[in-house]
Structures are given as structure tokens and as C-alpha cells.
Amino acid sequence: MPLNPFFQHGSPDEQRLVQQLVDEQIKMFGLDCYYIPRKQIVTDDILGEVQSSKFNDNYIIEAYLNNYEGYAKGSDVMTKFGINLQNEITLTISRERFEDFIAPFQFNSTNLQGALDGDIDFGTRPKEGDLIWFPLGERLFEIKHVEHESPFFQLGKNYTYELECELYQLQDDIIDTNVAGIDERLSEEGYITTVNLAGIGSTAKASVDTFALNGALQKITLNDDGSGYTSAPLVSVSPSPAGVSTSLGAVVAITTTKGTLSSVDYVAITNPGFAYVEPPTIGFGTPGVGAAATSTLTNSGIASIRITQPGSNYVSPPIISIQHPQYVDKQYEFTGIATAGMMEIVGINTMANIAIGHTINFKSLGAVTLSGGGIVTSIGSSSIGIGTSIGGTGTVNTTFIGTGAMVGAKAGQIQATAVATLSGSSMFRIYLTDAGAGYEATPSISISAPLSVGLGTYHINERVVGSNSGTEAYVKKWDAANRKLEISINTGDFWPGEYITGTASSARYQVFSWGDDLSSQAAGSEFFMNDEFESAGDELLDFTETNPFGII
Amino acid sequence: MLGTYFYHEILRKTIIAFGTLFNDVHIKHDDRSGGTISETKVPLIYGPKQKFLAKLEQQEELTKATAITLPRMSFEMTSMNYDSSRKASVTRTFKAIDSRDPSNTKAKKVYLPVPYNVGFELNVMTKLNDDALQIVEQILPFFQPAFNVTIDLVESIGEKRDIPIVLENISFSDEYEGDFSTRRVLMYTFNFNAKTYLFGPVADSTEGLIKKVQVDYYADTNVQQAKREMRYTVTPDPITAGPEDDFGFSETTTMFGDSKKYSPTRQEDV
């Protein structure tokens, strides 16, 4: 039976009136919430899941809170995984307001790297999976159901959407709304890693203490690196004929590991000893077997190096460079007789190491005035002739003292080499790997500089990139005073020493240390115990093999 | 009667050893071009906690902006059962050197341990099924069906035992059905058995470490009348070696014609 044509179930004008009344009610008794639409970045079509999402838009909309009496009791639940909050709210928003002011803007988005066109779902209604920022308590809710027919067709039309929401479960979704209050509040949520960035450091300094001991160890040559050296073995050196404790050479073995194999990498000298006539024999202790080495002696090498300033801010041992003997200035002192046109010097006993080609610079002694210098052109049995091409003036037939500088390499000169170890971020020790030979004067030592402080201010939610690792992450928080960068959603590990550059801010700092992403110092560490198990396990587990779950 | 105090923390150590196995599991999310969007180390926690402590630590601010962050793993000890298949004699003891004694000479005595199977339940909760599958695949291949860990069960005697951790079964729930008022919950549950040993009190032994063995040979079985004619002695080489050291043996054989016998009480030939 047809409807009575004399009664109309809602004319467009009546429907319009009701909609306006609803809107007005919500504006009077509602709350301003932020509607944050989801952008689907990666979906798994087989398992039917959105694997990665981005939330970087926000729309303010008024909403009426249906459960004005608060959250349901028992919303905070203790679970196996820690405390889980299950707060729920139901909001009513105006259908017309949403369609007029939010839906038209949901047509464009910025895709993440690698996302393809068509990843984004469009719609003219609120969608399940979108987020609501609820200002009371500053909480982020996810829409789990949109009820579009309540109240049910008043005057033939529906005027509201009822959004059933629950607290959002965070994972690695990018939430960058550009609303400071929201972004700052969420900067404390999720799995966060703290990267310590380099501050102002100081370069370590060292100097050669003693050199040129007769019969001292120059170098230990490893003939067999052995196997099974899971820790550094004790290395013995046969005693020196001098028979005193300082004459006994001392060396230390440095081990290396590749996979499950451990062997001796090299043997460094901690005390070269002296008065050895024959190269001493080298013996290796446990835990490994098979290592063998021979030694070489020198009479003119480096004997000891003193650290004068340990420096700071080193993330890896600095590179030690010891001057080559050919570049080391030797200060000669000699007596001589200056003759016209030619400086002839006698008293060769004080100039035993001088050679043709060396430069001699004169210096005054007492009342004798001397300046300039010359190059040694010949060496006689009792005198050395010095050319006057550089010049040199003085009192003829006067005894004087001069100084000389050695120029050019001589046969048998070997550059000394050394390695450093760190204690914390400062230099701890310097080991000689080759004491060198042919040193006639104290060489200088140069040490590589530590990390330097960077520039700029990182922005919240900007993407940062590691210069060497290529690792990317999003900034959660930047503590400029302490140079601590909190990041999240990282694609891997950052390496100490590399630069982290902000893609938006261009801030650039060097990584000083990178904590494990679930270290006990990390934000939110009350929710996990990974590090605690690792350190407690180290004390009681005999992991001759490493933890298999961390190794590929 | 049973009042001797001792606590080797064996069960606690077993919990730690179990937790250590799963504390470095990662999951990755890739974009469609093969690049990595994120790599996450999966947090692990020992489930049982004092409720007030959990509340104070995890919900200090009361109004947390989001719900729980996923994925997560949690485990707990669920059972302890005597394992009769590993039963050993109840009266047998064994001796060991006190590992904390620097002189390496003090011996300790302890009864053979009681074998127990300690049940563990490992739970994995994820937001995505793919995350759970990544975690599961990283765990299963290592259990065939057991994975051995070597635990220093009793530190005072340096007693290290291989404890097999056996994967008994796996179950999972994926609550995706129902109305839209409930959230999907994805949870995988692994049940393990750790075959551990419980040691009793460790006592000081009056007997020291054996460092010399001496055997006398006789030419006749009537040892009342016969005299020893040859002596075989073995000592460790070097004599100062401890049980954990790498050492050899010195063997000595001596012939006698002096018609004497060894007196164990006087510890000399008479």
C-alpha cells in the first residue's frame, strides 16, 4: 500500500533545519578535536595488513563526547607485556561539517620513499584507522568503528557520525601533525633511541721519552697467528743479559676475531728493554695454540712514549704518527775554525753522525759572532768542510760552537710506528708496533684529532641520515645542551664517528656513541629488559658461541 | 633436619638464561622498492611483576597518550616437574675445588643434583601478522627441538651444566572476528621446558685434592707375608697445577729389594 501523499517525511528545508540544530548543539556542548587521517604507505595484500602508515595532516573539528561520564572502569589492565591502557571514547561529529571541511582536503599527500601512487585511500566519510587527538588528557585515539545511522534517519536523513574510538597502539607509524602540542606530547611515545653527539673535544698529545737504547726490541714479527686466542695470551720475552728488570723486554699480544675464529693479530712492544745481544725469543701462553713470533733489535729506535695529554671525544683510537728519522732535526754541537771562503770544522768527535748533505747552522758562542750556515760537502779524517753557498760569517781562525740539522734519508733508517688504546673517550696507552731505527734525535709525535662539535638545530619529526651507515630515522627530541638526539623508526644502527644530518634543518653533528635501541638508558625502558638479561646472562652463561639470535 | 641454608639461585639463573636467548630479536618493515622503513628490536620482559611497581614505572604520568607500543615479547616460568628420566643415585656425592679459593686446594663436597624440568611460556604480541611471522621464523630453527645453553649453576664449585631448553609446542590466537567494538589481538605462545638441575648444600670436604697416586706391586697375593717389590707413582706435572689448569703427568716406577712394606698410617716404608 503506498504512503499517504499528504504527509511528507522530511522536506529538504526541514532536514536542513535539523542539521543546523545538530551542528549548533555540537558547537555549544562539544570539544575541539583534531582529526588526523591515515595515509597508507605499505600494505600487504596477502596478509591484508597496512604495514606502514603516515599521519601528517590535521583538521580541527568540534565533537560531542558521548561518554561524558568518563572512561569505563577497569580500562587500565595489567598484562603479560606490561600495563595496557584500553580507554575508549565515543564522539559524535556533524556529517555536514565533516563533508564540507575535511573530506575535500583528503586528496593529496606526501608519500614516503618507495611508496607508489594509489597507496592512499580517499573518502568522504571518517574512516576506521584514522586518529583523533582528544584534548582532555591529551590522548591519541584510533577510530575503530564509524556509526553513520544513529540516530536512525530522522526526517529521512542522517545528520551525524558517531565515532567509536580506542587508545592508539603505536608501532612505527610516522606521526607528524605540525601541531606543536601533539607532536611534543607524542615525542615521548614509541620505541626511542638516544644518540649521543660529539661535543667539543681536545686532541691528545704525546712525546718520546727515551730513544736509542742499545740492543732494544725494534719489532715483533708474527710468523704464525695461531688459533683459539679468545682472550689475549701472555707473551714472554727471554731476558736480557743486562739482568736488570728494566732491561727485560715486554710485549703485549692484540687478538682479533673473525666469526668464531680467534687469533693473534699483532704483538706490540710496551718496553723494548736493552742490552740484548741476540734477538730474544718470544713465547705465547694460553688460551690458544700455535702462535709464533720472532724479534728484531735496534740501537737507535724509540724506547718509550709519554702521554702528556690524553685528549677527549675519541670514539676510536687515534692514529699515531711518529716522525721519520730523516725528518728529525739533529742538533749537533761542535767546535770549528772558520777560514775565509770555507768554514772548516774540526773536532769530529762531537759530530759522529754527520753526513754529506747535512745542513749546519752556526750559532754564536760567547764573544764569537757567527751567523748563517752551510751544507756539508765533504768529510775529512779530522775535519769537515762546509760549503759557503748558504753563507756564514765569523771570525777567522776562531773556535766556535755550531748546530746542525740533518736533511735527507740515510741507509738503515726505519720509521717507528705505534698504536693507541682508549679508556672511555680518552687515550689510555700507546704501544710501539715498530720502534724504528736510525733515530739520532727525538722525533715528534702527531696524533689525529677527535670528533668535533657540529652545527645546527634538529627539528622534531624531521628525517635524519647517517653519512656512512646510510641509516635513516625520525627525530623525536633534540637536547642541544647535552647534544642528545632522540630518534625513532630507524632503519638500522648509526656508527660512531659518522655524521648525522637533518634533511630539513641541515643540522650536522658527529655521532659520539650509539646506544642499543633497547638499552636500559633508552626512553620507555621500564617496558623492556633486553639489556638486563644480556648483562646478567654474561655473568653466568658460557657462551663460547655468541648469542645465536643476534647473529645472521 | 633440612635447615641448612643455601641458595644457589639456580632457578633465577635459568630464568635469566632463558631470557637471554630472546633478547635480540628484530623485525623489519620494508617499502615496496626494497628499502627499509624501520628496524625494531623486539622488547622482552619478564611478565610477572609487582602490580604497584608496574604502575609506578610504566604509568608514572597516569595519562599516557597512547596504549601499549607493539611488538612485544614476554615470558614467565609456569611449572616445575621432577624429571625421573634423568634421576641419579641419591647417595652419591662428588667433589670439586672451591672456585673462589685462590690457592686451588680447598675441596668441596656436594650430593648429585635433582633433575627438574622448568616450564616457560614465551608470549609474542604484535600488531601485524607479518611481525609475528618474522619473530616466529627467527626462533623456531634454533630449536630441534632443544637448544643447549651452558649455565654456571653453582658458582662456588664452578659447576657448569648444559641445560637443554626444549620447545614443546606453539599456539597462537588471532582474534580478528567479531564486531568492531573489540580490537584485533595477535598473540603467539611458545611453551618450553628447561631441563635444569637443583643442587643441595655445598659442604667443605675434609679430603683434599688428590695430587699423588701410588701403587705397590707384590710378587705374591699373600700380602701379609710378601713385600712390595715395585712402586708406580703418578703426580700432576707441574705439581702446582689446579684442576682447571692444563697439566700433564709425571710417572715414576721404582724397584725395591729391601723387603719393606708401605705403611699408610705412618706414610713411609717400614
pLDDT at B32: 77
Confidence of residue A123 (pLDDT cuts 50, 70, 90): low
**pLDDT at residue A267 greater than cutoff 60:** yes
> Is residue B188 less than 8 Å (CB to CB) from chain A?
no
The whole-angstrom separation of Cα B170 and Cα B134 is: 15
**pLDDT at residue B196 greater than cutoff 90:** yes
3-state secondary structure of A527: helix
pLDDT tens digits for B127-180?
999 999 999 999 999 998 899 888 988 888 888 888 999 999 999 999 888 888
> Is residue B161 less than 8 Å (CB to CB) from chain A?
no
pLDDT at A354: 60
The whole-angstrom separation of Cα A132 and Cα A33 is: 7
pTM of the complete model: 0.73
Q: Complex ipTM above 0.85? A: no
Q: Is cis: bond before B141, omega within 30 of 0?
A: no
Of A324, A395, A330, A325, which is closest to residue A361 (Cα–Cα)?
A330
Identify the burial level of A108 via C-beta atoms within 10 angstroms of its C-beta, where 0-12 means exposed, 13-18 middle and 19 or more buried. exposed
Identify the residue with better confidence: A393 or A104: A104
Q: Cβ neighbours of residue B131 under 8 Å, at least 6 residues apart?
A: B27, B70, B71
Confidence of residue B195 (pLDDT cuts 50, 70, 90): very high
Highest-confidence segment of A206-215, B3-12, B48-57 = B3-12
Q: Which chain B residues are within 8 Å of A549, Cβ to Cβ?
A: 21-25, 138-139, 142
Of A315, A293, A325, which is closest to residue A226 (Cα–Cα)?
A293
pLDDT tens digits for A397-435?
444 445 555 555 667 888 899 999 888 888 888 998 998
The DSSP string of A37-96 is --EEEEEETTTTEEEEEEE---EEEEEEES-TT-SPTT-EEEETTEEEE--EEEEEEEHH
For the segment A242-270, the average pLDDT, to the nearest whole number, is 85
> Contacts for B173-176 with beta carbons within 8 Å, 24 or more apart?
B174/B129
B211 contacts B15 by C-beta, under 8 angstroms: no
Q: Find the Cα–Cα–Cα–Cα dihedral A157, A161, A164, A166, rounded to 10°.
A: 170
The whole-angstrom separation of Cα B207 and Cα A249 is: 44
Cβ contact A169–B64 (<8 Å): no
Of B49, B79, B86, which is closest to residue B197 (Cα–Cα)?
B86
Q: Scan residues 148-207 of A and list those with Cβ closer than 8 Å to B.
A: 164, 166-172, 185-186, 188-191
Confidence of residue A248 (pLDDT cuts 50, 70, 90): confident
> Is residue B25 less than 8 Å (CB to CB) from chain A?
yes
Cβ contact B74–A80 (<8 Å): yes
From residue A31, alpha-carbon distances to A57, A60, A261, B20 in Å are 19, 10, 65, 48
**pLDDT at residue A463 greater than cutoff 80:** yes
Q: Which chain A residues are within 8 Å of B21, Cβ to Cβ?
A: 547, 549
* Residue A528: half-sphere exposure toward Cβ, Cα within 13 Å: 31
Average pLDDT, chain B: 87
Cβ contact A529–B46 (<8 Å): yes
Q: Cβ neighbours of residue A33 under 8 Å, at least 6 residues apart?
A: A60, A61, A62, A63, A91, A132, A133, A134, A135
Of B123, B119, B120, B121, which is closest to residue B172 (Cα–Cα)?
B123
Confidence of residue B1 (pLDDT cuts 50, 70, 90): low
pLDDT at A552: 35
pLDDT at B177: 87
Confidence of residue A389 (pLDDT cuts 50, 70, 90): very low
Q: Which three cell numbers stand for residue B81?
A: 616437574
Q: Which chain B residues are within 8 Å of A490, Cβ to Cβ?
A: 38-39
* Neighbouring C-beta atoms of residue A462, cutoff 10 Å: 17
**Assigned superfamily of B10-204:** Myoviridae tail sheath stabiliser (3.30.2000.40)
pLDDT at A409: 64
Which chain B residue has its CA at the smallest distance from A84's CA?
B68
Q: Scan residues 280-309 of A and list those with Cβ closer than 8 Å to B.
A: 286
Domain boundaries, chain B: 10-204, 213-266
* Residue B64: half-sphere exposure toward Cβ, Cα within 13 Å: 26
Of A459, A461, A484, which is closest to residue A474 (Cα–Cα)?
A461
For the segment A167-177, the average pLDDT, to the nearest whole number, is 90
pLDDT at A344: 52
* Residue A507: half-sphere exposure toward Cβ, Cα within 13 Å: 21
pLDDT at A369: 56
> Is residue B16 less than 8 Å (CB to CB) from chain A?
yes
**pLDDT at residue A64 greater than cutoff 80:** yes
How many contacts, defined by CB atoms under 8 Å, are there between A and B? 226
Q: Cβ neighbours of residue A94 under 8 Å, at least 6 residues apart?
A: A19, A22, A23, A26, A62, A159, A160, A161
Highest-confidence segment of A15-24, B36-45, B94-103 = A15-24
The whole-angstrom separation of Cα A449 and Cα A512 is: 14
Q: Tell me how close the Cα of B187 comes to any Cα of chain A, in angstroms.
A: 11
3-state secondary structure of A176: coil
Cβ contact B74–A81 (<8 Å): yes
Confidence of residue A118 (pLDDT cuts 50, 70, 90): very low
A77 contacts A158 by C-beta, under 8 angstroms: no
Range from A280-294, A363-377, B11-25 carrying the lowest mean pLDDT: A363-377
Q: Scan residues 452-491 of A and list those with Cβ closer than 8 Å to B.
A: 489-491
The 3 state secondary structure assigned to A299-367 is CCCEEEEEEEECCCCCCCCCCEEECCHHHCCCCCCEEEEEECCEEEEECHHHHCCCCCCCEEEECCECC
Which chain B residue has its CA at the smallest distance from A517's CA?
B41
pLDDT at A111: 40
The whole-angstrom separation of Cα A248 and Cα A270 is: 11
pLDDT at B244: 67
The whole-angstrom separation of Cα A255 and Cα A262 is: 7
pLDDT at B132: 95
**pLDDT at residue A201 greater than cutoff 90:** no
Range from A50-59, A125-134, A401-410 carrying the lowest mean pLDDT: A401-410
**pLDDT at residue B219 greater than cutoff 90:** no
The whole-angstrom separation of Cα A23 and Cα A32 is: 13
Alpha-helical regions (H) of A229-301: none
pLDDT at A116: 44
Average pLDDT, chain A: 80
Q: Scan residues 90-149 of B and list those with Cβ closer than 8 Å to A.
A: 123, 125, 127-130, 138-139, 142, 147, 149
